[in-house]
Amino acid sequence: MFHYILEVFVSLIKGLPYTLLIMIVGFVIGSIIGFILSLLRIYKVFFFSWLAGVYVSFFRGTPLLVQILLAYQGLPLVLKDTSIYPYIRDLGAIYYVLFVYVLYSSAYLSEIFRSALLSVPHSQMEASYSVGMSTSKALFHVIIPQALSNAMPNLSNFIILLIKDTSLASIATIPEVMGLVNQEIANTRSVFTVFLVAAVIYWVISVVLEKIFGKLEKRHSLHKRKI
């Protein structure tokens, strides 16, 4: 039995690079876009503020599975008669999946960053102005560092949610952990064992990420105390 469990583990762990790739790309690029969206909404930049609100509402209000299917199966059909189609015709499924996870992540991260930025007292900005700082300097040297510290718990929760959500990429035939689970089930004598091993893999990754963010949070807390 142990030999069989080890065999299943070795088979499923081969999908880990795809799982981590989706998580990292979604989180990193999503953070950049999400931060820009949060600023647009906070500072109410004309029409863009409204557009950002609709964008966030759509990607937070629709199932990720539906978003993946819309991109993977819908986009090629919608763009078939356009000049863009030759460029996307031969794109692999992974590119559609990464595109969706970036958009999905940016919507959630924008709300995390927005609440974190708004949690910094307005007096901090006024104090920055009083010592001659410009708005951009105050934002990057005073407001954002404090906001990031405040956002750490929510960022930790989101990235753990994201690593679990990568399992939905299997619907687009991506050979990540859950995608390999589906393949393994077709050739296995114990469906329960395969799902159990997959659950342990996701759990271990989640625990590791939780520890990493826990250390980052402590470091930020110590830095704030020194200040």
User: What pLDDT, on a 0 to 100 scale, did the predictor assign at position 99?
Assistant: 97
Residues 6+ apart with CB under 8 A from 151: 112, 113, 115, 116
Residue 119 lies in a domain: no
User: What pLDDT, on a 0 to 100 scale, did the predictor assign at position 185?
Assistant: 86
Identify the CATH number of the domain in which residue 11 sits: 1.10.3720.10
Residue 150 lies in a domain: no
- For tokens 């799982």, the residue is 19
Q: How many CB atoms lie within 10 A of CB 59?
A: 18
Lookup: tokens for 171: 């619907």
Residue 200 lies in a domain: yes
Residue type, 22: I
Residue 141 lies in a domain: no
User: What pLDDT, on a 0 to 100 scale, did the predictor assign at position 160?
Assistant: 95
- Domain span at residue 189 reads 2-114+156-226
User: What pLDDT, on a 0 to 100 scale, did the predictor assign at position 32?
Assistant: 97
User: What pLDDT, on a 0 to 100 scale, did the predictor assign at position 223?
Assistant: 56
Q: What share of the chain is helix, strand, coil (3-state, %, to 5)?
A: 85, 0, 15
User: What pLDDT, on a 0 to 100 scale, did the predictor assign at position 72?
Assistant: 93
Q: What is the number of structural domains in the chain?
A: 1
Residue 89 lies in a domain: yes
Residue 74 lies in a domain: yes
User: What pLDDT, on a 0 to 100 scale, did the predictor assign at position 212?
Assistant: 92
pTM, 2 dp: 0.90
User: What pLDDT, on a 0 to 100 scale, did the predictor assign at position 224?
Assistant: 57
Residue 45 lies in a domain: yes
Give the span between the Cα atoms of 200 and 93, in whole angstroms.
Answer: 26
The per-residue DSSP string of 65-111 comes to HHHHHIIIIIHHHHTTTSTTHHHHTT--HHHHHHHHHHHHHHHHHHH
Residue 135 lies in a domain: no
Residue 45 backbone dihedrals phi, psi, to 5 degrees: -80, 85
Per-residue pLDDT of the chain (227 residues; tens, 9 = 90+): 778 889 899 999 999 999 999 999 999 999 999 999 999 999 888 889 999 999 999 999 999 999 999 999 998 888 888 888 888 878 899 999 999 999 999 999 999 999 999 998 888 888 888 888 887 888 888 888 888 888 999 999 999 999 999 999 999 999 999 999 988 888 776 889 999 999 999 999 999 999 998 888 777 666 555 55
